[in-house]
Amino acid sequence: MSQEESPDKIDRKKEREKLKEDPRDFEHRLHNAKMSFLNYMARKVLPGGFWSGNRLQPGESAYKQDDATANSDTNQTTLDGNGKIRLHLTFDDGPDPGSTPALLNLLAEKGVIATFFFIGANAKKHTSLVKEVQKAGQIIGNHSMNHLFLPVQTSKKIESEIDEANQVLEEITGERPSLFRPPFGLIDRRGAELLAARRMSPVYWGAVADDWQYIGEEAVTRRILKQLPREELIVLHEGPHLGKQTVNAAALLIDRCLELGFSFDSI
């Protein structure tokens, strides 16, 4: 072993070589390139919010910053107190009986804190699951009431999508969410101003696998791993047809990331 190569660097080199052995490696590389381009462009045009690399401090909100500062990837260190790179695991579109309980068991077993961005309509149908997530100490965020594409909605409709979901979640948990992930990851200036007035912060995306469709847990895991550690904000999706894939992918990801020396932290 050369003096310039630490064991950590060698392990990551081995991991990259393993990923290249996947017969779908080229497909995953194309996905990685696509997401890198989309992330770069989105940071340029979307209102300020939380991205990979600009972790909010306790009590801080993106609405306090201008867009250039809030969307920067150099605001905050991504290292934890032990010098490990922090990852942020998030789940969209729940709660769902086919995945949420199993995810809670997995997170408890691994000692990982994640953020669940719930759709208000789903939370209204599955109030007990929302309560279980809160009781488990996991973070709950707002993912709108009906998962509409907000930039094409009227200002009044955007407001109702935020407020109705907030109301549902607050009635169940007794706490109003402070984090909002816009459906499809996009929000315009009108939505950002509505969030700022409610002292809420937009949370965008980082490592995404296109797992809102079935591609298999191995593909989900490999696509996410290829985007680490550059994009440490991991996005996975719950849903009636995705339960097994999401739970299995989350288990694989957590194990591999911990083996590679990453840690997990709340947003």
CA distance 93 to 165: 12
Enumerate residues 6+ apart whose C-beta is below 8 A from 51: 39, 43, 71, 73, 204, 205, 206, 233
Q: Does any domain span residue 189?
A: yes
Q: For 180-213, how does the pLDDT look when each residue is reduced to its tens digit (9 = 90+)?
A: 999 999 999 999 999 999 999 999 999 999 999 9
Q: Does any domain span residue 66?
A: no
Domain count, the chain: 1
Among candidate residues 133, 156, 160, the one with its CA nearest the CA of residue 144: 160
Backbone φ and ψ for 117, nearest 5 degrees, come out as -95, 105
88 is catalytic: no
Q: Does any domain span residue 14?
A: yes
Q: Decide if pLDDT at 83 tops 90.
A: no
Peptide bond into 229 cis (omega under 30): yes
The answer to whether the beta carbons of residues 88 and 115 sit under 8 Å apart is yes
CA distance 38 to 30: 12
Q: Decide if pLDDT at 263 tops 70.
A: yes
Q: Decide if pLDDT at 2 tops 60.
A: no
Enclosing domain of residue 189: 7-53+87-264
Average pLDDT over every residue of 172-178: 98
Out of 92, 96, 211, 265, the active site residue is 92
Q: For 84-109, how does the pLDDT look when each residue is reduced to its tens digit (9 = 90+)?
A: 999 999 999 999 999 999 999 999 99
Q: Decide if pLDDT at 19 tops 90.
A: no
Q: Does any domain span residue 82?
A: no
Angle between the N-to-C axes of helices 25-45 and 7-20, in degrees from 0 to 180, rounded to the nearest 10: 110
Q: Does any domain span residue 242?
A: yes
Out of 28, 126, 237, 265, the active site residue is 237
237 is catalytic: yes
Q: Does any domain span residue 60?
A: no
Enumerate residues 6+ apart whose C-beta is below 8 A from 242: 96, 98, 99, 211, 212, 214
- Cα separations in angstroms, 190 against 11, 186, 267: 46, 12, 24
CATH number at residue 257: 3.20.20.370
For the chain, the average pLDDT equals: 86
Q: Which residues of 100-128 are buried (b: 16+ CB within 10 A; e: fewer)?
A: bbbbbebbeebebebbbbbbbebbbebee
What pLDDT is attached to residue 188? 96
Confidence category of residue 34, pLDDT binned at 50, 70, 90: confident
Average pLDDT over every residue of 228-257: 95
- Beta-bridge mates of residue 90: 115, 235
Q: Does any domain span residue 80?
A: no
- Beta-bridge mates of residue 235: 90, 208
